[in-house]
Structure 1
Amino acid sequence: MVSWQAFMAQEQQQSYFQKLQQKLSEERASGVVVYPPEHDIFKAFELTPIEQVKIVILGQDPYHQPNQAHGLAFSVPKGVKPPPSLKNIYKAIINDYPSAQIPMHGDLQAWAEQGVLLLNTSLTVRESVAGSHAKLGWQQFTQNALRYLAQYQACAYLLWGKHAQNVAEPIVANSIHRKSSLVLNSVHPSPLSAHRGFLTCGHFRAANKWLQEQGKSPIRWLNTETPESEQYTFL
């Protein structure tokens, strides 16, 4: 049976994954602060079962400052100020859906529950050290997860920045569902690059159009009516 649980069980038998877990345990035992908390590391898989995945959004690292990372790419828990990249994601959604309202929080769990796999290529990071776990083995794990998904069903892939594109594009191109999947590329939503086309990339409306063509329900990216007290005003 195809499931994320079956995939996890398969990977846990692999030596690279066992070494990865050992390294993480050693870091924590030595007092290194690692994000996200252990119970959130695999949250993307827990909230979005494989048979429910409609869209893949691929990030790079979890946020590496306190209280930010909670296992979903680009997302932060409620009560934490949305980081700049997420603010730009919200702006791009407003460009596609002008009647939508930007919420006060940056928690994207509602997207995950609708079928958006919010996956980072590294699932952990040391506090204040971006990219610190990129070579621990996580990329092999997440690439294997994407291969597993790509062989199972067609999806829409929203790939922002060269890193996401280099990781995912070859996997989709070599999958049995390559012709029926949708791959959308843009620059990263970081403030350093978002102005070069991300804010007007049209990915959110395009992905929903594709879903409807497949007979699937579109993603409700943002509410169309949000109390003013819960809205951001940075646009």
Structure 2
Amino acid sequence: MPESDPLQPGSPESDALFELEPRAAETVGFAQLARLPLTELVAPDWAEALAPVEDALREVLAFLAAEAADGHEVLPPPSYLLRAFRQPLAGVRVLIVGQDPYPTPGHAVGLSFAVDGRTRPIPRSLANIYKELDADLGLAPRIHGDLGRWAEQGVLLLNRVMSVRSGAARSHRNRGWEAITAAAISAVADRRTADGGPTPFVAILWGRDAWSVRALLGTAPVIASAHPSPLSASRGFFGSRPFSQANALLQAQGNGTVDWELPPLP
């Protein structure tokens, strides 16, 4: 569907937005996303939480539509852009903050550090995450990078900046995403239980970009280390045991544990 084609709220195309497969992503464009109600872009409780920054989100979507209209490939594709917000806000148990999406076509899928399950080889940062997962919990590294199982268990894989121009790392920084993801992180931290206490969760912050959100997290337990990038993994990421630490902190708060094991194949 060309960028100029209309996509009306409530149409079969918009209703199917959450179910699109990667290869069907081109049926919806960024201009169409900008016209959809927030409740059709994200889970209902996320729509409520992000309402104060909806105008900023519309401006970012308009910018992405202009990028696409100028012939630039924007990653991730439209149907995956807001994927991190499709699992309910109420269910978030672990927050993992990334930087911005992989700039390689076919890699970015809207979840920080994840890639399409068919991508081979997986990015080196993700390979290092798997190495630490093996060292920490004894879980064998996978050949694929589909982290959807983590997201289904309440692991919010959130990039600080949620889009990028193909082949141009960091190209969409300072375009408005930072305010939107700051609001999202604050929404996670500000949740309250029935008795008024903070909703239990754990934040995992890898690298300087992630560390910058620490002030938004209130009293939540934080696991911070170097980024898993090959440039920094040996400077504090390896040996940090974030997965077992996260589970111990969740258990201490009475919020169960995450099964970090991924399927052998996506």
- When normalised by structure 1's length, the TM-score is 0.87
The whole-number CA distance in structure 2 between the counterparts of 1:216 and 1:17 is 32
Identify the residue that residue 47 of structure 2 maps to in structure 1.
Answer: 5
Any residues of structure 2 matched to 1:86-105 within 5 Å, and which? 86-98=126-138, 100-105=139-144
Query: Deviations 1:63-114 (Å, cap 9, x if unpaired)?
Result: 111100010000001110210000000111111112x222221110100000
The structure whose RCO (Cα within 8 Å, separation 6+) is larger is 1
After superposition, residues 147-226 of structure 1 pair within 5 angstroms as 147-152=186-191, 153-166=199-212, 168-172=213-217, 175=218, 178=219, 181-222=220-261
- Matched with 2:82 is 42
Number of equivalent positions: 214
CA contact (8 A) 2:107 2:115 kept: yes
AA aligned to 2:133 is I
CA distance in 1, matches of 2:67, 2:174: 14
Q: Residue type matched to 2:255 in 1?
A: K
How far does residue 201 in structure 1 lie from its aligned partner after superposition? 0.3
Check whether the contact 1:102–1:222 (CA below 8 A) recurs between aligned residues: no
CA distance in 1, matches of 2:137, 2:60: 42
Gaps of 5+ in 2: 1-43, 192-198
CA distance in 2, matches of 1:58, 1:17: 19
CA distance in 2, matches of 1:5, 1:23: 21
Question: Residue 233 of structure 1 corresponds to which residue in structure 2?
Answer: none
What residue is the counterpart of 1:71 in the other structure? 110
- Return the letter of the residue paired with 2:107: Q
Tell me, yes or no, if structure 1 residue 33 matches structure 2 residue 73.
Answer: yes
Identity %: 38
Q: Is the 8 A contact 1:60 1:122 kept in 2?
A: yes
1:219 is displaced (CA, Å) by 1.1
Q: CA deviation at 1:17?
A: 3.0
**Residue of structure 2 equivalent to 1:143:** 182
Residue identity matched to 1:3? D
Query: Which string of whole-angstrom CA distances, capped at 9 and with x for unpartnered residues, describes residues 104-155 of structure 1?
Result: 2111010000010000011110000001001110011000111111111342
Q: How many angstroms apart in 2 are the aligned matches of 1:189 and 1:59? A: 10
- Counterpart check, 1:19 vs 2:65: no
How far did 1:208 drift? 0.5
Deviation at 1:197, TM superposition (A): 2.0
Are the equivalent residues in 2 in contact too, given 1:35–1:127 (CA < 8 A)? yes
Post-superposition offset of 1:35: 0.3
Asked whether the 8 Å contact 2:205–2:225 carries over to 1, the reply is yes
User: Partner letter of residue 227 of structure 2?
Assistant: H
> Is there any run of 5+ residues in structure 1 with no aligned partner, and where?
231-235
Any conservation in 2 of the 1:72–1:119 contact (CA below 8 Å)? yes
TM-score using structure 2 length? 0.77
> Hey, what's the Cα distance between the residues in 1 that align with 2:200 and 2:214?
13
Q: How far 1:216 sits from its partner (Å)?
A: 2.1
